[in-house]
Every structure is written in C-alpha cells, then in structure tokens.
Structure 1
C-alpha cells in the first residue's frame, strides 16, 4: 500500500485556565482523527455531568477501535457509530436532549491502497495537496453563516437543518458531514487541523497553499508558532471568537 508519514502537534491555548487542552489528535498507520471540543460559554448549563474534554476523549476512543481494526464502513458510518457509542455511555446520567450538551468538531482522513477518504464536521478543515502542488480545502463553514452569534442563536442552530452540525448526542449529525474520496495517486500530502491552526489561512489572510507550504517545510510546530505570533499581535476585538485557542495540526505525507 506504500507508506504514510504522519507528523503532528496538539497544543492547548497559552491562556487556557488550568492548562486543559480540549483538542485531541489520534493517529494510526493509515488514519488521522482530529477533534476540537467546543468550550461552553460561562454560565451555560449543559445538562451533562461530563465536561467537553471527556466527550472528546470518549469520541476519540470510539473512533479509534474500528479504524485500527480496518473496518470496511465509511467514515460517515464510523462517526455515526462513535457518536452513538458515546451517547450510550452517559444517556442514563445526563440530559442528552439539552442543546448545549458537550460537542466537538471532527476531521478524519483514512488512506487506503487506492484511495484517500476524508470527512469534516464543523470547523476543523482538511487540505489535500496533489503531486503537482494544487491544493483542495475541504471545509464545513456553515457556522459562519449564522445571522448572529449570541448564545441563544447558536443554541437554536446547533444540529438543526439550516444551522450547523457537530458531534454531540445525535448520530445523524455524521450524515451532515462534508466527506469524499480521492484517488491515492492524486494526493501527495494531507493537512488536518483544528481552527486554532487553520486561522493562519481563515483569519490571517494566507492561502491554503501557503499554509500547506509551512507544514511541508517547517512542520506543524512552525505553523502553530506562526499562528501564536499573529494571535499575540492582533488588536483586541479584531476578530470574532477567542484571541487564543487550542491548536492542532497534522501533516500526512504519502509515498
């Protein structure tokens, strides 16, 4: 099948209280899973006794088992099964009907002998680079089109038609992911990241090709260091969202 070289960094935000990192990267010989837990605003009651980190860890484990076992199911099916598996772990103790229940983005890549599968749910993108250098960004930007970003507006739009979708308590969210398959011969490398790293392109004006170039030459550490420098220099209130965020970046090189 050829070889897959995987290079990754997963780092908590520098201003994160207690040093908690709500990102998770799971890699295997032929797959990558990147998760980004959604931090709940202060004072929001989730109805769940577990925190976001718990959800992210459990989801990562539920996805890892079939991927390591070389399941023939599609990535969409694997994600639906993983969400259902996590749901069963706390359905008896938590209010899973609460729309503010802990949630996570998902980005997945699986490399086969003839193909490269990818899946993106919410704002953790995947970028494919062809042998000739062309790049294709796979993004799920539905959250960017909400009419407003108040706690109530986001709550009403989460995991709803016409809103945006995340991995939380509804297995059917997996079928709303952006997914596809590309011939392996058409892929030289793949970048997988959370929005704490992808903001190099999405917030700070670089192209996806430039982002992949940083990964190819300096690795994930270099990309995240550059993002941290931009974050530190940004004017307060210049962008929607947090100044600093957990950041994860993975580069897969295919032989």
Structure 2
C-alpha cells in the first residue's frame, strides 16, 4: 500500500506548533485521529493534554495492527481505550464527561477485504476501480438538537448523542464499521473534519475531493481548504481547524 499524507495545525492555534491530529500508517493500515480541542476554561479532570491522549491511543492501536492482528477493529479500539485509561486512572478523573477525547478512523487492508472503522467526524472514502465512491462517515455530531456547552457535554458518549474515543471502551462499538471486497477498492482517502470540510462546508463533491487528492496530493487539498477558511463567513464552528488528509493506493 502506497500512502501519502499531510497534516497541519490550525493557523490560529496557540502555541502554533500544537497539532491534535495524528496519522499512523503501516504496510496494510492507516489510522487517523483528531483530538477534540478543549473549550476555554473547561475542567477535564485529566492532567494530560488532548495531544497526549491522541498519541497514546495511536500507539495502542499501532501495536496490534503492525503485528497483523485480524481482531475486529471495534475490539482493537475498545482494547486501546481500556489500556490508555488504565495508564492514567490513578492520576485523573476518568468519570469526568469532559475528559480528553478523539475521533478515530482506521482502514486495514487484508488479502480479500478492506476493513474500516469511523468514530465521529473523520470520514473514510473508498474508490472502486470503476471510479465509484463509497463514503463511510459518522454524522451524529451534526444531528444534535443544540450545541451549547451543556448540551454537548450531556450528549457526549450517550445514547441519542454522539460517540468519541475517550475513557469508555463501549464507544468503540458505536463506531461505523464494516468490510469491502478487496477487489472493489483501489484508492482510499482518510480525512479529519478540518480537511473534509472541503465537501461538508464548502460545497464540493466527494468526487472533486478525491480527484484533487489524486491529481495534486494531500497538501494541496489542505491548501485549498485554508483558502476557503480565510474567506468564509463563519457561523457555528471554528474558522480554522487542524487538517489532515491521507491518500492510499492499494
């Protein structure tokens, strides 16, 4: 599998060097995580940063994937959440609903199939040899009845709300997951919402996004998103976000 990726922190992030996205790639897998930036003044109950959680989850996912594990992806993610939780349960309040959290997107290529998992808003796009696209996404955060701090806090990792990787391993089983015949996939795109907003906020099609990725690469996609970010009339949400795009050829 040939993998190309580009990840860039939000231009207005302080300090500028912090990027809460993470890409991990191996011979037959890609993992993309997008940490949820804590709101100003939010008490998470955790002494660690969001970037720390993202790194720990990524490390725990990479070990079995590098070893060629055939374990179902939701089980791998549940195990990773559990292990990371055990690593700081003695110092942090893991019952706090504002604990650091992250989206998760995983693609694993096996001899006869391609497995995917999407938890929260980091979509996976699969292109077939005939050009047909299949988008695997988790849009539950976009369907919340309101977006006040209290509402989001109340609905995070709750039935009827939305799910992210944080302290509760059962969130892994709420992910969008499945398999596709290996012969039906030749290109994979994995994106954080800072890059997928090219479609979801700025009105391009998924075909146009994948065409841009394959023609000009992940860096150019993020550059195009930044151009739109700078000119956008921002409503709900942030003007800028960490942006990550991965393109893989099978």
Deviating beyond 4 angstroms after TM superposition, the runs of 4 or more aligned structure 1 residues are none
Deviation per CA, 1:66-123: give whole Å up to 9, x if none.
0001112011110000000100110111000000000000000001111100000000
Q: Secondary structure at the match of 1:18?
A: coil
Q: RMSD of the alignment, in Å?
A: 0.6
Alignment equivalent of 1:106, drawn from 104, 116, 136? 104
Q: 2:170 is paired with a residue of what secondary structure?
A: helix
Deviation (angstroms), 1:8: 0.5
Residue in 1 that maps onto 2:216:
218
Return the offset for 1:240: 1.7
Aligned counterpart in structure 1 of residue 43 of structure 2, from 42, 45, 52:
45
Q: Give 1:165 shift.
A: 0.2
**Corresponding position: 1:6 with 2:3:** yes
Gaps of 5+ in 2: none
The match for 2:247 is 251
User: What secondary structure is seen at the aligned counterpart in 1 of 2:190?
Assistant: strand
| TM-score, normalised with respect to structure 1 | 0.97
Q: 2:236 aligns with which of 232, 237, 240?
A: 240
5 Å-filtered alignment, 1:147-186, equals 147-186=145-184
Residue 188 of structure 1, CA deviation: 1.1
Deviation at residue 10 of structure 1 after TM alignment? 1.1
Aligned length: 249
For 2:8 and 2:61, how far apart are their aligned partners in 1?
21
Q: How does 1:23-42 map to 2 (within 5 A)?
A: 23-42=21-40
Could you say what secondary structure the match of 1:66 adopts? helix
Q: TM-score, length-normalised on structure 2?
A: 0.99
Partner of 2:52: 54
> Which one of 49, 65, 71 corresponds to residue 69 of structure 2?
71
Residue deviations 1:116-175 (CA, integer Å, cap 9, x gap): 000000000000111111111111000111111011000000000000000000001000
